Amino acid sequence: MAEHESLEFGKADFVLLDNVSMEEFMANLKLRFEKGKIYTYIGEVVVSVNPYRAMNIYGRDTVEQYKGRELYERPPHLFAIADAAYKAMKRRNKDTCIVISGESGAGKTEASKYIMQYIAAITNPNQRAEVERVKNMLLKSNCVLEAFGNAKTNRNDNSSRFGKYMDINFDFKGDPIGGHISNYLLEKVQCCMFCLVHQLLRGAPDSLLRSLHIQKDPTVYNYIKVGGQIKSCINDGADFKAVADAMKVIGFTGDEIQTAYKILATILHLGNMTFGVDGDVTLIETPKLVSVIRELLSTKEENVEKALLYRTVATGRDVIEKQHTEQEASYGRDALAKAMYERLFCWIVGRINDIIEVKNYDNNRLGCDTIFHRYKTRPQIFYLHIKYFTSVAIFAVLSFCINYCNEKLQQLFIQLVLKQEQEEYQREGIPWKHIDYFNNQIIVDLVEQQHKGIISVLDEACMNVGKVTDEVFLQGLNGKLAKHAHYTSRKLSPTDKSLEFDRDFRIRHYAGDVVYSVVGFIDKNKDTLFQDFKRLLYNSANPVLKGMWPEGKLSITEVTKRPLTAATLFKNSMISLVENLASKEPYYVRCIKPNDVKSPLLFEQERCRHQVEYLGLLENVRVRRAGFAYRQTYPRFLQRYKMISEFTWPNHDLPSDKDAVKRLLQGCGFDHDVAYGKTKVFIRTPRTLFSLEEQRAEMVQRIVLFLQKVWRGTIARMRYRRMRAALVILQAYRRYKVKSYIREVNRRFKNVRSMKDYGRHVKWPTPPKVLPFEETYTFLFLFTSRWWAWTLIKGLTPEETLQVRAKVASLEALKGQRADLGLQRAWEGNYLVSSWGESVGGGTRLTLYTRKDKYMRVLFSCNVRKINRFHKAEDRAVLITDRHLYKMDPLKQYKPMKSTPLYNVTGVSVSPGKDQLVVFHTKDSRDLVVCLQGMVPANESRIGELVGTLLSHFKR
């Protein structure tokens, strides 16, 4: 069953119709056509309706949708059939064939193109040059064959006028490596309606037309005017260039292409050649054309004229020349034109085959020994492009042969379908129900049976000595087929006025009754071409043209075997074709033409109904539906419907898939409408299948929601794990960079203890970006500086330690406030010692202060200038111990004038200038303002020493 199409588009498979009737079949076909669904299945048969518009369903994305899929997994499409044939060929090593049939204009040619394009698209994944070359030539060969074998008609711009059988050879990997093309029943009577003739007239450059002596106007040529004025919407100029380019790609030489053009021009000129009579002599009324034809055929002018007007006949050893009558000359001219076109077409097919056929195939060249040798032959896919059944006998033998071909293929179709059904049921152990169907073997025998068939009677009439007429042939038919149920004529049915006496006979074909007129049967069957024309063309100076007529080298008196008639040749080819197809695994494409006006909107019910009858589509549905409407292997059935049952979802624990399918169908209540084979389940009616589909559709929605939930959770967890992993990586990287930096710092400062300056000259490395530069540098620099300072300080004496601390305190307090802190000199602290001396009993004075104040040490002493509240300056001295602040009079042997406990001093203020003004603040607000004095360098002062000493003391 085709998936992904709702019932609004109708049934995607005609087998699933509720009632198998012509009315329901046509209603479903019309509905799908109106909805834009041009493909529908009948089991494994594709019914294609010509849409008469471009459809975007053949692109690369569509190819990917059908590649490797089963038929039922996607909506009906040509690509599905092509893929099924390709898989059967590749996986099972079976030769397969695709039979494309239908009326002229039904889309057979386009269908074959799309199938070829699909095969070309899905092969060669490695883009190897050799395989690409083969595929390109196979595709280009289609273009050339259509140009020479398709005709422009009022009903179709690209109407196929020959049957085509193409086989494509593949290697063991499934890549195309070559092919072969066979053609059947070219309608050479319409040789000047073929596409390339119109392309040549309308699209060729003027220089080429002048060299061929032809004009652009098609109405100038009689052979073209016979078909009436043809309206075309095709760009002949572009098509002409495309065909010329395709021939070059395939491998045609420039001389070969020019020869093809010359033959076409010769045929056009032959059509304009007329004959007249002067007494008993037949004359050519257009002698200029003889000269033109002579030039085009590269032969002698007298030989051309002689071949057109005379016939050489050998009677024993004597050779005589018999002049044609006007009627015989016209017949010979037309026969020559048709024969030239037929030989040209067959030569083109042969040249293409010479190029694309696999020659000197070397297994080792593809790098394969043991794998390839297990194939007996190279797998192949065959495309059979055949004509449609015609019910009007316009072209006598041609129409008869076409209908005979359809009878043979319809018989093969029914046999293969029934055979497949029977074999499948027997293989699966399912009882087979007999099917009544029209067995058209009786009609095939009516046509081809030895000694009794129509072709045998026709050949006998053609071989009779003397004048044989079409009426004699009809009499022979009436004599041998008088009692045949499917044959009648006016003589056998005198009351049937639809038949003419001595002219018509009727055959009851499988698709309906067809009346044939015997007029022209004898001549068309003999298809006589005088030997003079063959010798004329064989003696051409053009080697290409000469090669097309090898029998022209025979001597006039040489006795040859009677050639087979046209009907016998076609019969033999059909028998060979059917035998070949019977050995293949067949796939079918049935093409239907919806209307005669090429409208994409019009669906002519009655016309389509006749085509359905002629193609036997309804009969095919009945055959397919005789037993069961649907069948599928147990694993695939479970894969599609297992969500319906709790016993099979998500997986079952039953002994086998067959038991699981039984449990599923029993739970749904459909056990009465199914049968269980060895490997497949068979469903009898479509309603059961539709019910399963409805239940599946309901469950799919719930499963989708569940899957969305699970998937979203999975995505969130995946995102979290990625983020966490990224974070771990980032952290590890940061740690690595930090450790690397620290190791580098450690390496540079490893031996600083033994250095004289303890590493002060070592340059710091630049920290990584993961570390803030300022913070890292400051932290490590301070850390190192502290260590360096500690290393220096630990060797100092206690007095030196006190001085260092005082300097540090001064620097912290006054840095940036004063320029001269005196940090570079030693701080004496007690500057009055030298001033007291022995004369004033300095030592005795200090001892006195020590007993009185009980201080431990002198923090600072110095001579100062005191400024009182009246702004009067006086010389004084300041002594600061660890207990008191003394103001002394140096003129009275440093007698204390005022003593202030050190704990009453609340602060010290200094000026930012170069002066040494100091203010001691006290709790009683009786501040002491002094200006320090001393024998110190001009650029230094004692302010820093005083402030640092006091701060250091108070911090302790």
> Which stretch of DSSP H or E encloses residue 586?
strand 585-592
What is the C-alpha to C-alpha distance for residues 207 and 468, in angstroms, rounded to an integer? 49
End-to-end alpha-carbon separation of the chain, Å? Answer: 99
Question: 883: Cβ–Cβ under 8 A, 6 or more apart, which residues?
Answer: 853, 854, 855, 901, 902
The Cα–Cα gap between 382 and 82 comes to 11
User: Is 836:877 a contact under the CB 8 Å cutoff?
Assistant: no
DSSP code of 937? -
Q: Do β-strands 895-901 and 884-889 pair in parallel, antiparallel, or remain unpaired?
A: antiparallel
User: Which of 558, 557, 529 shows the shortest CA–CA distance to 319?
Assistant: 557
Check the annotation: does 34 bind a ligand.
no
Is 429 annotated in some ligand binding site?
no
Contacts of 243 (CB under 8 A, 6+ apart): 143, 144, 147, 196, 199
Contact 631, 140 (CB under 8 A): no
106 belongs to an annotated ligand binding site: yes
Per-residue three-class SS string for 420-464 = HHHHHHHHHCCCCCCCCCCCCHHHHHHHHCCCCCHHHHHHHHHHC
- Determine the residue type at 250: I
DSSP H helical segments within 587-685, as ranges? 605-615, 617-625, 634-641, 657-668
**Separation CA 3–CA 277 (nearest Å):** 72
Helix (H), strand (E) counts: the chain: 32, 26
Backbone dihedral region of 565: left (phi > 0), alpha (psi from -120 to 50 degrees) or beta?
beta
279 is in an annotated binding site: no
Q: Is 566 annotated as ligand-binding? A: no
Q: Report d(CA 403, CA 414) in Å as an integer.
A: 16
Asked if 630 and 686 touch (Cβ cutoff 8 Å), the reply is yes
Dig out the tokens for 548 from the structure. Answer: 């097309």
Angle between helices 129-149 and 326-356 (to 10 degrees): 170
407 is in an annotated binding site: no
Phi, psi of 937 (to 5 degrees): -55, 155
Q: Concatenated DSSP letters for 349-365?
A: HHHHHHHHS--S--GGG
Alpha carbon 544 to chain centroid distance? Answer: 42
Query: Considering all CA atoms of the chain, what is the largest pairwise distance in Å, rounded to the nearest integer?
Result: 184
Contact between 161 and 187 under an 8 Å Cβ cutoff? The reply is: yes
Chain center to CA of 25: 35
108 is in an annotated binding site: yes
Helical residues (DSSP H) of 3-100, grouped into ranges:
22-34, 60-66, 78-92
What six digits make up the tokens of 208? Answer: 């080429």
Residue with tokens 């089991």: 43
CB distance 148 to 196 below 8 Å: yes
Taking phi over 0 as left and psi of -120 to 50 as alpha, with beta for the rest, 551 belongs to: alpha
**Under 8 Å between Cβ of 275 and 326:** yes
- The number of angstroms, rounded, from the C-alpha of 391 to the middle of its chain's C-alpha atoms is 43
Question: Packing angle between helix 195-203 and helix 129-149, nearest 10 degrees?
Answer: 90
Beta-bridged to residue 676, according to DSSP, are 681
The response to whether 839 counts as a known ligand-binding position is no
Q: Are 426 and 678 in contact (CB under 8 A)?
A: no
DSSP-derived secondary structure for 465-517:
SS---HHHHHHHHHHHSTT-TTEEETTTSTT-TTS-TTTEEEEEETTEEEEEE
Q: Which residues are annotated as a binding site for ATP?
A: 102-109
Q: Which residues are annotated as a binding site?
A: 102-109
